[in-house]
Amino acid sequence: MSYQLPPVTWLRAFEAAARHSSFAAAANELHMTSAAISHQIRSLEKRLGFGLFERLPRGVRLTDMGAAYVPAVRRAFEDLSTATTGIFGSLGEKTLRIRLPISYAALVLTPRLPDFKRDYPGIELQLCTTIWGDGLNQESVDIDIRYGDGHWTDLPGVPEKIATERSIVVCSPEHVRGLGAEASLPALCSGPIVQIMGCESLWSDLLRQEAVDMQVTAAGVKSDTSLVALEYAAAGLGAVLVLDSFAESYLETGRLVQPIAVSLETPQAHYLTKRPDAQHKPEVLLFCDWLLATLGH
């Protein structure tokens, strides 16, 4: 098969210049001169028969044709980088810094990390946990995982949803026995409730979804993390409405049970973003591909 492709060096110059909106910045990244970058891009434009950049007094701007072309070029380089590293391994030890919520780290990611480390022993992981998604400078992490609606003004790039989330009601086996009669949503809501700060309205959403005309008024305890809320529930302090992925290990060990077979699709989800100047690193691409393949649905 004959591939109708321009030289790879021209495409690298084009992708870097498009990402930085600057020939000079692309030259610095690729260890070339600005004149060399300009020459390669002009050669690419001549080969394709279309202008890819508008030359501005300061920097450059993609034309419509350039903007249409760059995603495909970028994906091609990402696929090549991922395949090369996945098959042949990284050159030397690589460090990957990930910022993520503490509950997601402890309950979802950590139990699966041995699989990643087995497949990619040359990548060192540094997990920086947070509660409310702040506390670290964005430049200090390669990948940022957050829970929310996918819109954050302080994050560059476009967040990518990892998975659709659902919440379920769980409690300790002793708590179910203490209800006496057969467990039901009204009975659970009439007893003590473990609330997760910022998610209190989900109980009302669940009652509305199940057409139960009542409000949650019972006294209980509150936690600022799902991790601690689950421990409260396991200690018998009440039922908790929590993401099913968070409750998975508790249900498997029997520390918690799901007394009623209802679930609530939440409007929020976990998203990942890659720091712009780290998004093409092989270790970043490998981890993101692995995470989405392992947890995405």
pLDDT given for residue 90 in this prediction: 56
Per run of 10 residues, the mean pLDDT along the chain (length 297 residues) is 81 93 90 90 94 91 94 89 68 79 95 91 87 55 90 80 93 89 84 89 92 80 94 95 96 96 91 85 89 86
Structure tokens at 72: 């495909």
Half-sphere exposure of 20 (CA within 13 A, CB side): 21
What is residue 105's DSSP assignment? I
Cβ atoms of residues 206 and 228 within 8 Å: no
The full set of domains in the chain, from first to last, is 8-88 (1.10.10.10), 94-164+269-295 (3.40.190.10), 166-265 (3.40.190.10)
pTM of this structure: 0.67
Other beta carbons within 10 Å of 285: 21
pLDDT given for residue 155 in this prediction: 74
Q: How far apart are CA 83 and CA 289, in angstroms?
A: 11
**CA dist 182 → 41, 51, 177, 188, 208 (Å):** 72, 71, 9, 10, 21
pLDDT given for residue 136 in this prediction: 46
**CA dist 162 → 111, 250, 279, 280 (Å):** 17, 22, 16, 19
